[in-house]
Structure 1
Amino acid sequence: MCDGYHQCDAPAQQRFCLAEKVHMPVSQTLRPALIDKDHPTADQIRDLSASLPTEPEIDRILTRKLKNRTRGGFTWPSLEEISGGLLSLLTTELGARFGGVTELRWLSGGASKVQVYFELDWTDADGAPSHTPMVLRMDPAESIQETSRRREFELLTAFSGIVPAPAAYWLDDTAEHLPYPAMVTGFVTGVTKPTTGAAGVSGLKASLTPELRNSLGQQFVEILSTIHNHDVDDPRLRSFERAGDAHDVIVHHINSWDRIWQEDSDVPSPLVRLAFAWLRANIPTPDRLSVVHGDFRTGNYLFTEDDATISAILDWEGGHIGDRHEDLAYTLNRMFGSEGDDGEFLVSGLMPESEFLDRYTQVSGLSVDPETLRFWKIFNCLKTVIIAVATAYRITTNKKTHQDVLVAWIIGTEGVLLDELRTHLEEVN
């Protein structure tokens, strides 16, 4: 048997010690857990930040999460409170151009953010009186993936007019006006799945008609290609500060998820530690850095049913600078696709994997490396394990989320996700 620093989690015939196969310092393979993860001290937070360095904006968000952890669970604000916060924000931003807010109502959907629809009467930037439908997108106390409203706002701004996406209007990143960090975007019409389709969580096991597949599939690939070819040094991406070369960018991205595991997990998992060690020992060097959407799949775009046109790419909250293969591997996840009429697996319910990758290469002009793709498949699998095993459990236990039922359901996928991660690691070793 392995000792406490060399634990194994593989069938007996394939069992191997972490330290024998992956030569990593103990400090990077098994770090001591926080004494009380629900009440971390300032020293413990500083230790995590120093030992697992990541991008400044991600460090800020994760540090803020831990500092706020002792402040109690999520409390639903009333629409009257939301209205007051919007009045404060919009008066500050618009001054005399602000006319009023009407038609406030909660929007359903999404596992991570609170969303409110409203209509704004205002004088727009061109001096014209306008009546504009908008969406307030606000954090709960903690999310299944803690992300930056500032980054999401900057991505929407940078891609305005380049790919279909909601317009970004105003940002309240420090919750100066609203109960939690928030931003205001334009409202876009469309659906995330056919209105006549089967019920279920949007985007999971996505099933589309052949007509929709043909039209949406080409747009899907074209939009992803455009995102990956965007200038990573776009000055509008001010909070995407990074240090070092492309290799360092990937290391910091791994560190951020290692830190999330340290912050949120209750039960030690040798399999998770092994996966982190394998990733660190096998980091590919990207041929170029790209904007990575982070959650690109059916269910995270709106389309209009009458003309089968994608009207908006949603959920930019996990966007970052990294390796385009991360997006490709994520999109290929079988959880987001379905079988076609002939039984062949369709990526995001749209097209076979070989066709998807071929189209992407042709449209983007970027290559797809199988070994790099395999690396990011393991990374994405590990990420979903962390969300289900650690974060989903902690935020539901501590009543930090507005979507407690849905997030609790995610915890139930733990066994399937861990088995998938084990299978991936067995294949590469």
Structure 2
Amino acid sequence: MSGSPALAAPIAQPISAGLVAALVGYASTFALVLAGFVAVGASPAQAASGLLAVCVVKGLLAILLSARTRLPISIAWSTPGAALLVATGTFAGGFPVAVGAFLTAAGLVVLAGLVRPFGRAVERIPLPLASAMLAGILLPLCLAPAQAVMVEPALALPIVVTWAVALRVARPFAVPLAVVVTGVIVVATSPLPIADLAALAPRPVFVAPAFTLEATIGLALPLFLVTMASQNVPGLAVLAANGYRPDAGPIFVATGIASAIASVAGGHLVNLAAITAALCAGPDAHPDPGRRWIAAAAAGAAYVVLGLGAGIAAAFIAATPPILIEAVAGLALVASLGAAIGAALANEDARLPALVTFLVTASGAAFLGIGAPFWGLLAGGAMMGVLRAGR
């Protein structure tokens, strides 16, 4: 009997690491994901369905890939993609058009996995331009906390202060703690409608996709690009840094197919985790690299369970003043904005094209019905071409 704790500890360690990764990943950005669905025209029921879909699909995929490869393949929803949805807004035709764009983006991910020259071409998009586009998408959201403090100081200031203090004492839980404080404020000011528990049960709402050229260029293509550049490629880098080098092609195909399945119920892209992946692939998950896949699988199982609370999460968002949701989402993205700006400006030769990309994207200006991220990347690429041709 004395040896049983020693036998249990190796299993308990990766399981606990996976649970922490899932809780941090979910609590940090679920509000942003729901806000993104609403921004592109989803009803509360459709937004809850989309959250349920991405949680279940990414959880099951993480379990499948990790168990099959014995590698810590962590799967997440596209956080930059959710920010893009908030920045893009509704297209003519409403949420079905957005779902069509989700399905198109998923198809492009599958194509990147099957046609390796295409996948490599996407991976070769200059990092400064991709990072600048992401920074331009994130900037308006990251301004929201300051704006919320100015408009509703009594409500927003406790959230921001909690986040700032938690950064010092418990950095991974800074945003989740800010979400908890937000929940306390919401319950104190406008109680959640939890009397009818049946209404909060998770229900998939199937959405027939509609396809338009404007949504394909203005949403599907930028969604694909930011997901590949800001999630899949960094996710592979995290794995490589910890000694894992999986074949990227099958992973892209699997995440693309999973994303297409999720889109039927209103979900957007799932992809390799970039930030929480380090919790599952690093030595803290397990001293033996061959056992760390258990952490990624445990995180996947936790995401499936968390997805069952999508209805409650949607009710929480519906009861929360939009300015507070934007503030919490902005706090969750501050670190990502800093990293994106740093990567965009690191290369002096590409700094000016990156700035052009950033400014055009951050302007939010749409042209011909196509959103600013596409034009930002195009403008930055044109500027880079002009400067290189001049040399």
Q: Scaled by the length of structure 1, what TM-score is found?
A: 0.27
Could you say which structure has the higher strand fraction? 1
Which structure: larger Rg?
1
Could you say which structure has the higher helix fraction? 2
Q: Scaled by the length of structure 2, what TM-score is found?
A: 0.28
Higher relative contact order (CA 8 A, sep 6+): 2
